[in-house]
C-alpha cells in the first residue's frame, strides 16, 4: 500500500503548481476553482495542466484513507504523525465558504492576496510533509521487507 | 533694423540670468554649457531669445492639446478664419482625428497672409466674450499690426495667465512677463515681419522635418527653454484640471472669476492659431536656430525626468529657470499692473489649496530653502500678488501636532479637500484629479517596513467612470503602450530621445512609433511629448479591433419585475413603468439597442414584443424548476422597431396584476430565465424585488431575529445564506451581464444573500426600506428620481479594468462590485458612472531606486454606441523615506474610506465586533506610532499630526454608522445595505454617508457665496455634528448623502418658517414635509438654491425631510450627531479619552 504514495506526491506537486500558476498567470479563477473543486463536468475543461487529478477533495480522501489503513495496521506512530493533518483537513473543510456543491475555494475571494498567499503556503507545507512521510514510508517498507 | 536691437536686449537679460545659475544646486552643468554657447556661437545668442519668444507660443499650443477636440477646432476657426467655422462647433468632444487633420491642413494652406491671423483673432474674441482684463490690455498692443505670430501668442498668454492666475506659480510670472516687453518692441518692427510672411511659411514646413538633425545646439539651449515650456505648461494642465471636474466646473468663488474661468478654457486655445504663424517668424532667422528651439522643447522633459529617475527632485529645473527672467519683471511691471488687481478676489477664493501647494517645496528640500533669499525678485513678486500668501507651507502644516483633547473645533468650516501630492508643480498639474483617483498616502513610504511603522492603510480609491465634462478622446490606429508591462503611455513617462520612451512602471525602454511623432493638434512633427496622451493623465482611447474578443455588443436591457401581491400592493410598478416610458428615448444606446421584460410571481411571465404583433403577448412558464424560454428570439426586441409595443406593455403592466392573489415570489427561476435570455449578448438585468424569494431555486428563509436588532453582542447573518445568487452572478459575469437589484421591501428580505447577485456581476444595489407609493411618498419620489438617473446615465458594457502600478508595489485586495479575474484585473460586466472601487496595496520590494511611483487604471469598455473605448487614469506620487513625511501626506478621508471597506470584509468574514475593534485599533496604532516618532512631544497628551486630526472623529462616525453600530436598533437589511454602499460608493459620497455635513440655514447670507449658473449659492459654514450646535432658535440642514434632514428648533424664528417653509408658525408645520415650497422671498430663494446646489453635486437625488423638534422622526436626525454620547456609544471626547487610554497601555 505504500507504493501509492508515489502517485500521491505527484498529486501534491500538481496541486501546488496550480496555485503558483494562479498567482503569476492570468487564468480565470472561476475555472481555477472549478478545477480544484470537484465539479466533474468542469474538469474536462482544463487545458493547461494535464493532470486532472489535482483536486482538493481526492487529496483529503486519500489522506483519510491512509490514516484508516494505518489504523488497521496498528501503526500508531505513523497514525499519530498524520493525525494533525487529518484534523486540519477536517477543520478546513468545515470552515469553507458557503457553497452548495463540495469544494473549498471560492472564486470570488481566491484572488485576495492574503488568501492566495495562504493557499500557496499551505501547498508548500503539505508538499514537504508528504515528501518526508513518503520517504519515511519507503524506509518503513524496505525495513519490513529486509527484516522479513 | 530694430529687430536685432530688440533681441539684443533680451540677450542681456539672459546673460544676467545665466549668472544666477551656478547658485542653484543641480544645475551647474547645464548653465556652463549655456554660457559656453553664448560665448562660442553667435547664433546661439540669437537662439536664446528666440526660444523665449517661442515658448509662450508653445504654451498656447499646449493648451490646445489639452483641450483637444473641444479646443482643436477653434484654432482652425480663428486662423483659418473663414472656412472652418462649422467644424469647430460641430466637433465637440468626439471629433475624430482625421477630421481635425484635414481641418488643420486646410488651415495650413490658407494661413499665409498675416491679416487672417488677426482677423481670426477678432473673430474668436467675439465668440468668447473676452474678459475685461484682457481687453484692457488690448489698446496698447493694437492687434492688426501684430503680424508676427509669436508676439501675438505671447501677448495672449500674458493676458490669459492672469485669468488662470489661480494656478500660476509666482516664479512663472516673471518668465511670462518677460514676453511682454518683447512684444511691445515687436510691434515696432512691423513691416519687416509682414514682408517675410510668405517665404517663411514654406520654410517652416521644411523645418518641421529637419528638426531631428539639430544635435548639440538643441541640448545647449534646452536649459533655457525649460523656462518657458515647463512653465507655460502650468496654466494649461491646471486649467484642464479645473474644468474637468464636470459638475464642479461652476464652483467658482466670485462673479469675476466665474465669468473669466469659463472663457479661459476656450480662450486659451485660440492662440493655437499662433504656432503656425510662429514658425514663419522664427524661420526668418536661421534654420539652425529654429530647429534648436523646437527640438529643445523636447529635451526639457528629458532633463526633467532624468532628474527624477536619478533621485533628484525635478523642481530643480523649473526653479533654476524661473529666477532667470526675474530681473525683467522688476523692470517691467507695467503690463501686469492692469490685469492683476481685478483678478485677485477670484484668485484668493477659488483655490485656497493651490496657493498652499507651492511652498511645500521649500519645506521639503533643503536645497530650496535659500531660494527665496537668493532671488528677492520672487519674493517681491509674491508680495505684489498679495493674496497668494506663500508663508504657510503645506509640509509643516500637515505635520503640525494637534492636541486632540484640547482642540474643540476640530472640524474645518469648509469641506475638507484632498491633500495635494508633494510633487513638483509640473507633475502636480499633470496629475490625475483626486475625484477620480486618490491614494490614502500621498507620500508613498519606501518600504513595507516603513509602512508598517506608520500603521496607516495604503490603498487607492477609484472612481474611474465618473461623469466628466471634458475628456480628451484619442483616435489613433496604434495605442502606444509599454511592450513588457502594457502600460499606456502617460504624462509621467520619460522620453529618452525623440525615438524612445521609458516606461514609468517597469522602466523598459520602448520605441516611439512613427505615427506618434506627429501631433495632429499642433500639426507638428517630432514632438511626441506634446501629444494629448502625454499631456493628460485622464484620457480615453477609441480602441481598435485588437481590443475586442467579439464585435462590440449592443446595449441590451432586461427588466425583471416582481408582480406578486406584495409588490403590487406597494405600487412600485406604476413608478417604474412611468419612468421607463418617460426615459425610453433617453436610454443610452444606438440603433441596435434591445429591451425585454420578465415578470414573476410564483410563475415566470415573458412578453413577446416581436415587431408586427398587434399587442404584446404574455407567455407564462409555470415550470419553475426547469425554466425555459418559450420564444427565445422575440423576447428581447429592438427598442426602435418595437417601440409601440413596448409602450403599450408599459402602460398596461401596472394594471395587469392589480387583482393578483399570488403571494409567492420565484425570484431564482426568474433570474435563471433572465440569464438564459441575456447570455448570447450580455447587457444589463434590472431586478425589482419586494420580498423574500419563497419558491424555486434560491429560495431564502427569514434569518433575522428582531429581538437581536439592538444587540451589542454578535450580529449574525451578515454573509449570504446560499451561494445560488453568487453562482448566478458569476455565470452572468462570464456572459458580460450585470444584475442590478432594486429591493423595495417593507420586511426582511435577506439582502445579504440577494446582494450577491449584484456584487459579483458588477451591478449596483438600491434599497428602499418600507417602500409604499402612498404611505411613504418620500421613498416613492426617491425611487422615481433614482430611476431617472439610473436609466439615463452613461453605461459601459463588457468592461475590464486593470490597475497597474510601479514595480515594487502590488495589489493586495479589491473592494467594490466586480469579479476579480486575476491579481490585477477586474471583470466588470457593466460599468456605471456611480461605481467606486477601493484597492489595498502592499509594498513588495522596497522602492529605493525610484523617487516617484505611478498607478494606472485602464478601463476597457464598450460604450452604449458600440464603440470600444479605453479610459486611462494615471496617478503619480512621490516616495518618501521618513516616517514624518508619510504622516504629512496622509489623506484622512481616503484612509477612512479604505478602512471602512476593510471593516466590511472583516465583519463578514469574522465578526462585527472584530471589525469594530480593528477600526479603533487603526486609530490607536497610527496615533501611538506618531507620538512615538515625535519624541519631543509629551507622551501623556493625545497628539495627532494635522493631516490626521480628523481621523478619530471619522472613525467614531464610522462606528456609529448603520453598518457597524451596535446597541442601537438596526435592521439587518439596513445594515447590509450600508455595507454594500460602503463597498461600492465613490469616496465623495461615502464620506457624506460616514460623516454628514451640518449647516445652519435660517440665517443664510451671501457672505462667501458662490455663483453657479447665474444663481447665488450661499455657503454656510459646516457645523460639528453635536447637539450643542443646535439651538432652538435655529433651523439646520443635515446632508447625509442620500437624505437631507431639515431640523426646525422649537422657537425657530417665525419669519423663517413663513418665508421658507410657507407655514405661519412652528406648530403648523406638518410632520411629513418633503419639499420646500417655491416662495418669492429672499431667504426661501437662498435656502432653495443652496439645497439645489447640494443636490446637483451627486448622482442620486436625496430625499428631503423636514423634522420638527418633537416629531418622532427626530431620532433619525439625532442618530447622525456622531459627536454626542448615545446609550451605546462614546461621545467624541470620551472616544478620545478611550484612545488615549489604549495608547498609554
Sheet of B997-1000: strands edge to edge?
A: B1022-1023, B997-1000, B1035-1039, B1043-1048, B1103-1108
**CA separation, residue B782 to residues B600, B653, B979, B988 (Å):** 24, 21, 20, 20
Q: Is A111 on the interface with B (CB under 8 A)?
A: yes
How many angstroms separate the CA atoms of B57 and B183, rounded? 12
pLDDT at B712: 67
Q: Best residue in A96, A98, A120 to probe B by mutation, most B CBs within 10 Å?
A: A98
pLDDT at B52: 35
pLDDT at B581: 94
SS (H, E, C) B432-465: CCCCCEEECECCEECCHHHHHHHCCCCEEEECCC
pLDDT at B372: 36
Segments of chain B scoring below 70 in pLDDT: 1-396, 712, 935-940
**Residues contacting residue B255 through CB under 8 Å, at least 6 positions apart:** B1011
> What digits encode the pLDDT tens for the residues A12-71?
544 554 444 444 433 445 555 555 554 333 333 333 332 323 456 777 777 787 788 778
Q: Is B811 on the interface with A (CB under 8 A)?
A: yes
Is the pLDDT reported for residue A115 higher than 80?
no
Which backbone phi and psi does B233 adopt, to 5 degrees?
Answer: -70, -35
Sheet of B809-815: strands edge to edge?
A: B437-439, B459-462, B837-843, B809-815
> What digits encode the pLDDT tens for the residues A129-138?
877 877 777 7
**Predicted TM-score of the model (pTM):** 0.69
**Which residues in chain B are contacts of A112 at CB distance < 8 A?**
812-813, 820
How many angstroms separate the CA atoms of B1145 and B1139, rounded? 10
Query: What long-range pairs does A42-45 form, CB within 8 A, spacing at least 24?
Result: none
Which backbone phi and psi does B1073 adopt, to 5 degrees?
Answer: -120, 125
How many angstroms separate the CA atoms of B631 and B628, rounded? 9
Q: Best residue in B753, B757, B819, B842 to probe A by mutation, most A CBs within 10 Å?
A: B819
**Nearest 5°: CA angle at B164, between B376 and B142?**
90
Q: Is B725 on the interface with A (CB under 8 A)?
A: no
> To the nearest whole angstrom, how far is the Cα of B824 from the nearest Cα of chain A?
9
User: Between A30, A98, A114, which is nearest B719 by CB?
Assistant: A98
**Which residues in chain A are contacts of B813 at CB distance < 8 A?**
112-114
Q: Do B812 and A25 touch (CB under 8 A)?
A: no
**CA separation, residue B110 to residues B82, B118, B241, B744 (Å):** 9, 13, 33, 64
Q: Do A113 and B814 touch (CB under 8 A)?
A: no
pLDDT at A101: 67
Q: Is B730 on the interface with A (CB under 8 A)?
A: yes
B786-801: string of b/e by CB count within 10 Å (b at 16+)? bbbbbbebbbbbbbbb
> What digits encode the pLDDT tens for the residues A82-95?
899 889 988 988 88
**Residues contacting residue A122 through CB under 8 Å, at least 6 positions apart:** none
> Which cell numbers in the block locate residue B927?
496615533
* CA atoms within 13 A of residue B411's CA, in its CB half-sphere: 21
User: Between B813, B821, B840, which is nearest A29 by CB?
Assistant: B821
Amino acid at each position: 500500500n505504500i507504493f501509492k504514495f508515489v502517485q500521491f506526491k505527484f498529486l501534491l506537486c500538481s496541486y501546488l503548481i496550480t496555485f503558483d500558476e494562479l498567482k503569476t498567470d492570468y487564468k480565470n479563477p472561476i475555472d481555477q476553482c472549478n478545477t480544484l473543486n470537484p465539479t466533474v463536468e468542469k474538469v474536462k475543461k482544463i487545458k493547461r495542466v494535464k493532470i486532472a487529478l489535482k483536486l482538493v477533495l481526492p487529496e483529503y480522501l486519500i489522506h483519510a484513507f491512509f490514516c484508516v489503513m494505518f489504523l488497521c495496521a496498528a501503526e500508531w506512530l505513523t497514525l499519530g504523525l498524520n493525525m494533525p493533518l487529518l484534523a486540519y483537513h477536517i477543520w478546513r473543510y468545515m470552515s469553507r465558504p458557503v457553497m452548495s456543491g463540495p469544494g473549498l475555494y471560492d472564486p470570488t475571494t481566491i484572488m485576495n492576496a492574503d488568501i492566495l498567499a495562504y493557499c500557496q503556503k499551505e501547498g508548500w507545507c503539505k508538499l514537504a510533509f508528504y515528501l518526508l512521510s513518503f520517504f519515511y514510508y519507503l524506509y518503513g517498507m524496505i525495513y519490513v521487507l529486509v527484516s522479513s | 533694423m530694430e529687430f536685432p536691437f530688440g533681441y539684443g536686449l533680451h540677450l542681456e537679460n539672459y546673460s544676467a540670468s545665466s549668472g544666477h545659475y551656478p547658485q542653484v544646486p543641480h544645475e551647474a552643468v547645464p548653465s556652463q554649457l549655456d554660457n559656453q554657447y553664448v560665448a562660442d556661437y553667435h547664433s546661439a545668442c540669437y537662439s536664446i531669445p528666440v526660444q523665449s519668444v517661442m515658448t509662450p507660443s508653445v504654451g498656447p499650443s499646449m493648451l490646445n492639446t489639452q483641450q483637444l477636440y473641444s479646443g482643436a477646432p477653434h484654432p482652425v476657426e480663428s486662423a483659418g478664419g473663414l472656412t472652418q467655422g462649422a467644424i469647430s462647433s460641430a466637433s465637440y468632444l468626439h471629433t475624430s482625428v482625421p477630421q481635425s487633420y484635414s481641418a488643420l491642413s486646410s488651415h495650413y494652406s490658407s494661413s499665409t497672409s498675416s491679416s487672417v491671423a488677426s482677423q481670426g483673432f477678432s473673430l474668436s474674441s467675439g465668440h468668447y466674450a473676452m474678459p475685461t482684463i484682457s481687453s484692457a490690455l488690448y489698446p496698447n498692443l493694437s492687434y492688426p499690426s501684430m503680424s508676427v505670430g509669436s508676439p501675438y501668442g505671447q501677448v495672449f498668454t500674458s493676458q490669459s495667465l492672469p485669468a488662470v492666475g489661480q494656478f500660476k506659480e509666482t516664479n512663472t510670472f516673471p518668465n511670462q512677463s518677460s514676453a511682454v516687453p518683447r512684444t511691445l518692441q515687436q510691434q515696432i518692427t512691423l513691416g519687416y515681419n509682414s514682408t517675410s510672411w510668405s517665404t517663411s511659411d514654406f520654410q517652416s514646413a521644411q523645418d518641421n522635418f529637419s528638426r531631428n538633425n539639430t544635435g548639440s545646439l538643441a541640448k545647449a539651449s534646452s536649459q533655457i527653454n525649460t523656462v518657458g515650456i515647463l512653465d507655460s505648461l502650468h496654466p494649461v494642465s491646471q486649467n484642464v484640471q479645473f474644468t474637468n471636474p464636470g459638475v464642479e466646473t461652476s464652483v467658482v468663488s466670485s462673479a469675476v472669476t466665474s465669468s473669466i474661468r469659463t472663457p479661459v478654457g476656450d480662450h486659451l486655445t485660440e492662440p493655437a492659431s499662433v504656432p503656425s504663424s510662429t514658425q514663419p517668424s522664427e524661420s526668418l532667422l536661421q534654420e539652425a536656430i529654429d530647429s534648436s528651439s523646437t527640438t529643445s522643447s523636447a529635451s526639457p522633459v528629458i532633463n526633467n525626468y532624468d532628474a527624477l529617475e536619478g533621485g533628484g527632485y525635478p523642481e530643480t529645473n523649473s526653479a533654476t529657470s524661473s529666477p532667470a527672467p526675474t530681473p525683467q519683471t522688476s523692470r517691467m511691471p507695467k503690463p501686469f499692473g492692469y490685469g492683476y488687481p481685478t483678478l485677485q478676489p477670484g484668485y484668493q477664493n477659488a483655490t485656497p489649496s493651490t496657493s498652499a501647494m507651492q511652498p511645500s517645496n521649500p519645506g521639503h528640500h533643503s536645497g530650496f530653502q535659500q531660494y527665496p533669499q537668493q532671488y528677492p525678485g520672487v519674493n517681491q513678486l509674491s508680495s505684489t500678488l498679495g493674496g497668494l500668501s506663500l508663508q504657510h507651507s503645506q509640509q509643516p502644516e500637515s505635520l503640525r501636532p494637534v492636541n486632540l483633547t484640547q482642540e474643540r473645533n476640530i472640524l474645518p468650516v469648509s469641506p475638507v479637500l484632498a491633500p495635494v501630492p508633494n510633487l513638483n508643480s509640473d507633475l502636480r498639474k499633470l496629475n490625475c484629479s483626486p475625484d477620480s483617483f486618490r491614494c490614502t498616502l500621498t507620500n508613498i513610504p519606501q518600504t513595507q517596513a516603513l509602512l508598517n511603522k506608520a500603521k496607516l492603510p495604503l490603498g487607492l480609491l477609484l472612481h474611474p467612470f465618473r461623469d466628466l465634462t471634458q475628456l480628451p478622446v484619442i483616435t489613433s490606429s496604434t495605442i502606444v503602450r509599454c511592450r513588457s508591462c502594457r502600460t499606456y503611455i502617460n504624462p509621467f513617462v520619460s522620453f529618452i530621445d525623440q525615438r524612445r520612451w521609458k516606461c514609468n512602471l517597469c522602466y523598459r525602454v520602448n520605441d516611439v512609433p512613427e505615427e506618434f511623432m506627429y501631433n495632429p493638434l499642433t500639426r507638428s512633427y517630432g514632438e511626441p511629448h506634446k501629444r494629448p496622451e502625454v499631456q493628460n493623465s485622464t484620457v480615453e482611447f477609441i480602441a481598435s479591433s485588437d481590443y475586442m474578443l467579439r464585435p462590440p455588443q449592443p446595449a441590451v436591457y432586461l427588466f425583471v419585475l416582481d408582480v406578486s401581491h406584495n409588490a403590487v400592493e406597494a405600487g412600485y410598478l406604476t413608478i417604474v413603468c412611468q419612468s421607463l416610458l418617460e426615459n425610453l428615448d433617453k436610454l443610452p444606446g444606438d440603433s441596435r439597442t434591445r429591451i425585454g421584460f420578465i415578470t414573476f410571481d410564483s410563475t415566470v411571465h415573458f412578453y413577446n414584443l416581436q415587431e408586427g404583433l398587434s399587442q404584446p403577448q404574455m407567455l407564462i412558464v409555470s415550470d419553475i424548476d426547469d425554466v425555459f424560454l418559450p420564444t427565445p428570439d422575440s423576447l428581447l426586441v429592438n427598442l426602435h422597431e418595437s417601440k409601440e409595443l413596448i409602450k403599450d406593455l408599459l402602460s398596461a403592466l401596472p394594471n395587469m396584476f392589480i387583482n393578483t392573489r399570488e403571494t409567492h415570489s420565484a425570484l431564482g427561476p426568474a433570474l435563471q430565465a433572465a440569464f438564459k435570455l441575456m447570455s448570447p449578448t450580455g447587457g444589463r438585468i434590472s431586478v425589482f424585488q419586494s420580498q423574500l424569494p419563497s419558491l424555486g431555486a434560491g429560495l431564502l428563509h427569514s434569518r433575522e431575529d428582531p429581538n437581536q436588532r439592538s444587540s451589542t453582542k454578535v450580529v449574525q447573518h451578515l454573509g449570504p445564506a446560499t451561494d445560488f445568487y453568487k453562482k448566478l452572478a458569476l455565470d452572468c459575469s462570464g456572459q458580460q451581464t450585470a444584475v442590478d437589484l432594486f429591493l423595495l421591501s417593507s420586511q426582511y428580505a435577506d439582502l445579504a444573500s440577494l446582494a450577491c447577485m449584484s456584487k459579483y456581476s458588477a451591478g449596483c444595489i438600491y434599497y428602499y426600506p418600507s417602500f409604499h407609493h402612498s404611505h411613504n411618498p418620500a421613498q416613492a419620489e426617491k425611487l422615481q428620481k433614482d430611476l431617472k438617473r439610473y436609466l439615463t446615465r452613461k453605461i459601459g458594457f463588457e468592461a475590464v479594468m486593470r490597475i497597474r502600478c510601479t514595480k515594487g508595489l502590488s495589489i493586495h485586495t479589491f473592494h467594490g462590485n466586480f469579479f476579480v479575474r486575476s491579481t490585477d484585473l477586474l471583470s466588470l460586466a457593466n460599468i456605471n458612472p456611480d461605481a467606486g472601487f477601493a484597492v489595498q496595496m502592499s509594498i513588495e520590494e522596497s522602492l529605493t531606486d525610484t523617487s516617484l511611483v505611478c498607478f494606472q487604471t485602464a478601463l476597457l469598455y464598450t460604450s452604449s454606441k458600440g464603440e470600444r473605448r479605453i479610459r486611462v487614469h494615471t496617478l503619480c506620487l512621490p516616495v518618501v523615506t521618513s516616517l514624518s513625511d508619510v504622516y504629512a501626506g496622509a489623506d484622512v478621508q481616503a484612509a477612512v474610506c479604505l478602512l471602512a471597506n476593510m471593516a466590511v470584509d472583516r465583519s463578514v468574514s469574522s465578526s462585527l465586533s472584530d471589525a469594530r475593534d480593528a477600526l479603533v485599533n487603526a486609530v490607536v496604532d497610527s496615533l501611538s506610532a506618531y507620538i512615538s516618532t515625535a519624541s519631543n512631544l509629551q507622551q501623556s497628551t493625545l497628539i495627532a499630526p494635522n493631516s490626521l486630526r480628523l481621523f478619530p472623529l471619522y472613525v467614531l462616525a464610522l462606528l456609529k454608522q448603520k453598518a457597524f453600530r451596535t446597541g442601537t436598533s438596526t435592521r439587518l437589511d439596513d445594515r447590509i445595505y450600508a455595507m454594500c454602499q460602503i463597498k461600492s460608493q465613490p469616496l465623495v459620497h461615502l464620506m457624506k454617508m460616514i460623516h454628514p455635513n451640518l449647516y445652519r440655514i435660517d440665517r443664510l447670507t451671501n457672505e462667501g457665496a458662490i455663483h453657479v449658473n447665474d444663481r447665488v449659492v450661499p455657503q454656510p459654514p459646516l457645523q460639528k455634528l453635536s447637539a450643542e450646535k443646535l439651538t432652538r432658535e435655529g433651523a439646520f440642514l443635515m446632508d447625509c448623502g442620500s437624505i437631507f434632514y431639515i431640523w426646525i428648533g422649537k422657537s425657530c424664528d417665525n419669519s423663517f418658517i413663513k418665508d421658507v417653509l410657507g407655514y405661519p408658525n412652528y406648530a403648523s408645520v406638518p410632520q411629513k414635509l418633503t419639499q420646500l415650497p417655491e416662495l418669492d422671498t429672499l431667504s426661501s430663494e437662498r435656502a432653495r438654491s443652496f439645497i439645489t446646489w447640494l443636490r446637483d453635486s451627486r448622482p442620486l437625488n436625496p430625499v428631503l425631510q423636514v423634522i420638527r423638534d418633537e416629531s418622532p422622526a427626530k431620532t433619525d436626525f439625532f442618530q447622525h450627531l456622531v459627536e454626542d454620547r448615545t446609550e451605546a456609544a462614546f461621545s467624541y471626547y470620551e472616544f478620545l479619552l478611550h484612545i488615549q487610554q489604549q495608547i498609554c497601555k
